[in-house]
A and B are shown apart, each in its own frame.
Chain A
Amino acid sequence: MSEVVPAWEAGDELEERILPPVTRLQLSEYAGASGDFNPIHTIDEAAEEAGLPGVIAHGMLTLASVGLLFSPYLEHGYVKTLRARFSGMVFVGDELAIGGRVTGSEETEEGRLHAFEVYARRGEDTVASGVLGFLVYAPDGSGPA
């Protein structure tokens, strides 16, 4: 976890992270932890019936991975808003890159709200993208209400 309050400025790029390849075990584990047992994520036959070449990762798992970029700053603030579109399927064995950049920030009653464009990509293909707002609490130590 980062000891330092993030000093993001518009235009800053977040350091891109390459995630380990998606595994079947991970999809089963996420199904159990999330309660999303849609069989297109775990059973090949069900995926094929739905017109897919094989099981696909949960979109929410991909999106949770995007959240990993902000986890190191949780001591200083939190992901307040997230809006994402899923634009590609993620298959077992895929290696995703997650990243983003700062687009601006504004002072709010709760603290400073930083805006980001974020993405998850497999090679050149964007599989999820959107905008995210990270709220940094004022440095006087005031916490959440």
Chain B
Amino acid sequence: MSQIERWRSMVGERSERVWNVVERGAVRKFAKAIGDPNPLYADEAAAKGSRYGALVSPPTFPRTFEYGEIRGMGWPEGGMLHGEHRIEYRGGPLRVGEEIYCSTELKDYYEKESRGGLLGFVVVERSGETPAGERRFTMQDVAVVTPALRRTLENE
């Protein structure tokens, strides 16, 4: 079965929940990489005195977590383009030290004709919950299969 056929047939499948913790070093490195010097991401004393009472993480940080594998789905090593990103939080920004159980679901696969050829769209939802099972955030991403990548995937 080709990668594209697998995506088509596995819509609705999800991964097991994976334990993550919001790590101080990971947040500091991430904030530096995105060029955000906000002390609430890196300065323990400033964060303690803030309404959050702890260091917090930037809005796009949850992409760094482990979400587990959807068994048997596969994913090309490279070449996918990012089409869309959505995130919605409940209960404030994520705090350093917070434990999050993450999982992912294949929501959809569809195709569209474009000037450059046929494009494929893989829609993936990733979510995070507290240990008590309360939703903290839901993300949805659309990854694009370019015509060049499609040719590679079909010849595998």
Q: Are B91 and A145 in contact (CB under 8 A)?
A: yes
Total A-B Cβ pairs within 8 A: 136
- A contact residues around B6 at 8 Å (CB): none
- B contact residues around A70 at 8 Å (CB): 59
- A contact residues around B86 at 8 Å (CB): 81-84
Annotate B87-122 by CB proximity to A: 1 below 8 A, 0 otherwise: 111011100000000000000000000000000000
- A contact residues around B26 at 8 Å (CB): 33
- A contact residues around B85 at 8 Å (CB): 59-60, 63, 82-84, 86
- A contact residues around B147 at 8 Å (CB): 51
Query: Pick the contact of A26 from B33, B36, B40, B82 — CB < 8 Å?
Result: B33
Q: Are A34 and B36 in contact (CB under 8 A)?
A: no
- B contact residues around A82 at 8 Å (CB): 59-60, 85-88
> Which residue of chain A has its CB nearest to the CB of B60?
A64
Say how far A44's CB is from chain B's closest CB, in angstroms.
12
Q: Are A46 and B38 in contact (CB under 8 A)?
A: no
B9 at the interface (CB under 8 A from A): no
- B contact residues around A50 at 8 Å (CB): 78-79, 81, 146, 148-149
Annotate B28-68 by CB proximity to A: 1 below 8 A, 0 otherwise: 01101111101110000000001111001011100110000
Query: Pick the contact of B34 from A30, A36, A38, A74 — CB < 8 Å?
Result: A30
Q: Are A67 and B83 in contact (CB under 8 A)?
A: no
Q: Say which size band chain B's interface belongs to.
A: 35 or more
A93 at the interface (CB under 8 A from B): no
Known contacts A32-B33, A33-B30, A143-B51; can you find 13 more A-B pairs with CB under 8 A? A38-B80, A50-B146, A50-B149, A68-B35, A78-B92, A80-B89, A81-B86, A81-B87, A82-B86, A86-B84, A137-B51, A143-B52, A144-B92
Q: Which residues of B contact A (CB under 8 A)?
A: 26, 29-30, 32-36, 38-40, 50-53, 56, 58-60, 63-64, 77-89, 91-93, 146-149, 152
Q: Which residues of A contact B (CB under 8 A)?
A: 1, 19-20, 26, 29-30, 32-36, 38-40, 46, 49-51, 58-61, 63-65, 67-68, 70-72, 74-75, 78-86, 137, 141, 143-145
